[in-house]
Amino acid sequence: MEWLVWGGATVSLVGLCGLVLSIVRVARARKAGLSDEELRAAVQKVMPLNLGSLFLSVIGLMLVILGIFLG
C-alpha cells in the first residue's frame, strides 16, 4: 500500500499548489487597487480553483491515511 501513500501525497501536493495559486491571485487583485465590486468579481472568479484545490488536498490526505491503515 506504499503506492497509495505516495499517490495520496502527490494529489495533496497538487491541491496545495492550487491553494497557493488562488492566494496569489487574490493578493494580486487586492494590490491592484480595484473597486469593491471588481475585487468581489475577482475573488468569485478564483473561488472554483480554491474549492477544487481544497477538495484535492482533502482527498489526497484521505488516501494517505487509508494507505497507512492498510499498510
- The pTM assigned to this predicted structure is 0.88
List the domain range (segments joined by +) for residue 24. Answer: 2-70
Q: Average pLDDT in the 59-68 region?
A: 96
Q: What's the pLDDT band for 71 if we cut at 50, 70, 90? A: confident
pLDDT tens sequence across 10-36: 999 999 999 999 999 999 999 998 899
Written in H, E and C, the secondary structure of the chain is: CHHHHHHHHHHHHHHHHHHHHHHHHHHHHHHCCCCHHHHHHHHHHHHHHHHHHHHHHHHHHHHHHHHHHHC
Residue 5 grid coordinates: 501513500
CA 66, CA 46: separation in Å to the nearest integer?
A: 30
Number of structural domains found in the chain: 1
Least Cα distance to 61 among 1, 5, 3, 2 occurs for: 5
Mean pLDDT to the nearest integer, 40-63: 97
**pLDDT of 1:** 85
